[in-house]
Structure 1
């Protein structure tokens, strides 16, 4: 019996660098799960749309949608939820964050940027009008701070406060030698550009592609598969 199709659903971007990064991440997932059919889909900007991919696959096989999204928000609660709702053998995994593998990836990006002890760190997230997204980002900042053994504040590109520029300004006014924006985005694109313009002294690279990110996606898939086949469904 074939395993459920993994529909990797990202936001979508007009950035060619961003598209390459997400494709590379999906290829890493395929390498980790060689016995699983992995399909790309999107909630905005790019095609194919997640609902279309789910509908096509669910006609013949079980489906697990894994959001390539870092926080809960409109796209997980509405777009992806609506895509799987009509099909009894389709299920959506939760957003990727918060998670310890994300904290480890952020830690490496900070190390690559040669962050110093006197630097202030702002976790720079895309943001959302959904309050659950803000809760997820704050929880992620707490995990990263625990891993680093130092405070990590938060800033948002849109949808929530404080905005990244304000968070950077606040950290600088508090006496930081430098302010580092830890990019809490998967790939280059609109939000990465907002972070780059935030006024931070250092801006880290986006998270994808990275084998830890691929392992996290595989973990979300396996957990959703277990839920899909549980007697409660």
Structure 2
């Protein structure tokens, strides 16, 4: 292939207008950090284009661009890198994105987490929300039935505990246990006067909205937008090409 492979930034997709705007802003941040790189949006659910269609189009465009100069794509060349705008592995990374790149000159990058910089973003959100070391913090992740996703969240939990001076536990929106409401109730039962939910979600949407009903005193904003997120996206893209 000639030129850098297309970066297909693949998010979950949401019906939330605010969530869509946040993901779009993250993609724009990636474009600003790497001028000239072809960065395209894709989704695994709800929104279009579907990731498989986005990869198909990226590969087709690369083949057409290479053909006049080189008689077609170079053997073994990579035309597209699907970079998940997802915090952990799971069915969408393994199945949807895996199927999108299978049999094509395309590769899948690792998801955004775990990464110590995500713990830094969580600390920023806690400070912005007015959390203090006297509060009990519950790290709220979306949840997955994939054991590797639970391990990934655990790594971020450890990194947050290393950075935050107060107690931090974890809760999940679905699939894994404890759920967020139970984690909040457990923190209160342990004597916490105030409980703060640290949203380990990328953008506003269904799961973030559900956190408001979990019984906490404060819920932080989602991770995006934040300048470190675009840097992580590009690091994942570069690592996939290596």
Q: TM-score range by the shorter chain?
A: over 0.9
Do the aligned partners of 2:87 and 2:201 also contact (CA within 8 Å) in 1?
Answer: yes
> 1:230 maps to which residue?
none
* d(CA) in 1 for partners of 2:227, 2:133: 27
Give the CA deviation at 1:149: 3.9
Matched, 1:120 2:132: no
Within-5 A mapping of 1:68-83: 68-83=85-100
Give the CA deviation at 1:60: 4.1
* d(CA) in 2 for partners of 1:108, 1:221: 25
* Structure 2 stretches lacking a partner, 5+ long: 63-78
Taking only aligned residues, the RMSD between alpha carbons, in angstroms, comes to 1.0
* d(CA) in 2 for partners of 1:183, 1:167: 13
* d(CA) in 2 for partners of 1:210, 1:170: 31
Within-5 A mapping of 1:59-98: 59-61=60-62, 62-87=79-104, 89-98=105-114
* d(CA) in 2 for partners of 1:45, 1:206: 20
TM-score (norm. length: structure 1): 0.94
Within-5 A mapping of 1:81-230: 81-87=98-104, 89-226=105-242
Give the CA deviation at 1:151: 3.5
| Number of residue pairs the alignment of both structures matches | 225
| SS state at 2:197 partner | strand
Matched, 1:19 2:20: yes
* d(CA) in 1 for partners of 2:41, 2:185: 38
* Structure 1 stretches lacking a partner, 5+ long: 227-233
Which of structures 1 and 2 has the bigger CA Rg? 2
> 2:37 maps to which residue?
36
